[in-house]
């Protein structure tokens, strides 16, 4: 009897709690629109946040409940947009294919290390020491933080710097977020011309740290017929909305830091 009464009381409490939880579940049940679940299943489950929402489930809910655009999933691309449109019974929205690009061409032949780092082999860790171990403080550190977060094997370290394989890239932006030097951007796949340098030092300083660096001469800016390339703080950058891939800037660049990066 010493143990029986407490056991019965405990069991009774458990049964009562179960009944109350069952009643609460029925009373407070909120019906979920089945389209949210179907849209969620049509997304790649990358949960990268490139769409502007916390993850695929959040984006699916926003489409149904808030009327969010159906073409925001970069990794899913046109295929995901078409599936979402079919679920909603609407016309498929146009999807502009995107890709990541690494704005650096300071490979092992163009620049060198300023010191040997024997700590944790990650770009983020090296960045804490004198802004990196390279002579160019703006360049790719090359230890692959971007590679480690890409689930498509779309980025690799080649001759000391990161390079993107556009045909494999889902433009999720994970690599861009992982890069401590903010060298990676997302751009339209159809725009093939890129400035592969991020240095903001003047020409003289840049040439001392990297043979392939932009010297801020503005020849590219002067030659572009569309005003698509501008030089600010000794650094050239392209407005992809204006760029027509004409190649005038690439031909004008004396250090050949502007390249054609095709899939």
Domain count, the chain: 2
Measured in degrees and rounded to the nearest 5, phi and psi for residue 156 equal -145, 160
Token reading at 231: 């030089």
Angle at which helices 34-42 and 77-88 pack, to 10 degrees? 160
d(CA 231, CA 217): 8
pLDDT of residue 3: 63
CA dist list (Å): 86 to 38, 70, 89, 93, 222: 10, 11, 5, 11, 48
Mark whether 168 and 74 lie in a shared domain: no
Q: Is a pLDDT exceeding 80 seen at residue 30? A: no
157: CATH: 3.30.70.20
The answer to whether 197 and 215 have CB atoms below 8 angstroms apart is: no
Tell me: do 39 and 103 sit in the same domain.
Answer: no
CA separation (Å) from 156 to 114, 146, 151?
Answer: 23, 8, 12
Pair (45, 80) in one structural domain: yes
Q: Is 44 exposed, middle or buried (0-12, 13-18, 19+ CB in 10 A)?
A: middle
- Give the confidence band of 36 by pLDDT, cuts at 50, 70, 90: very high
| 131-153 tens-digit pLDDT | 899 999 999 999 999 999 999 99
Q: 235 and 254: one domain?
A: yes
pLDDT in the model for residue 209: 94
pLDDT in tens, 199-209: 999 999 999 99
- Asked whether residue 219 carries a pLDDT value surpassing 90, the answer given is yes
Rounded Cα distance between 131 and 128, Å, is 6
Lowest mean pLDDT among 28-32, 170-174, 184-188: 28-32
pTM value is: 0.83
Query: Is 12 domain-assigned?
Result: no
Is 26 within the bounds of a domain? no
Domain enclosing residue 242, as ranges: 98-260
């Amino acid at each position: 009897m010493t143990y029986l009464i407490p056991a019965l009381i405990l069991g009774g409490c458990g049964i009562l709690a179960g009944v109350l939880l069952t009643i609460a579940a029925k009373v407070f049940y909120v019906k979920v629109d089945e389209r949210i679940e179907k849209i969620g299943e049509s997304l790649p489950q990358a949960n990268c946040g490139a769409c502007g929402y916390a993850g695929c489930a959040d984006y699916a809910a926003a489409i149904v409940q808030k009327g969010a655009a159906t073409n925001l999933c970069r990794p899913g691309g046109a295929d995901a947009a078409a599936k979402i449109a079919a679920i909603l019974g609407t016309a498929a929205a146009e999807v502009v294919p995107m890709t990541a690009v690494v704005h650096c061409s300071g490979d092992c032949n163009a620049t060198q290390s300023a010191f040997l780092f024997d700590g944790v082999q990650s770009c983020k860790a090296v960045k804490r020491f004198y802004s990196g171990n390279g002579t160019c403080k703006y360049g790719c550190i090359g230890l692959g933080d971007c590679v480690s977060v890409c689930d498509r094997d779309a980025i690799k370290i080649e001759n000391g710097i990161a390079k993107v394989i556009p045909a494999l890239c889902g433009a999720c932006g994970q690599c861009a977020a992982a890069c401590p030097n903010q060298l990676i951007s997302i751009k339209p796949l159809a725009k093939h011309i890129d400035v592969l340098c991020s240095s903001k030092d003047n020409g003289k300083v840049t040439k001392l740290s990297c043979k392939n660096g932009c010297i801020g001469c503005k020849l590219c800016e002067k030659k572009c017929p569309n005003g698509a390339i501008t030089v600010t703080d000794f650094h050239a950058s392209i407005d992809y909305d204006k760029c027509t891939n004409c190649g005038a800037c690439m031909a004008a660049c004396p250090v050949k830091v502007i390249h054609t990066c095709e899939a």
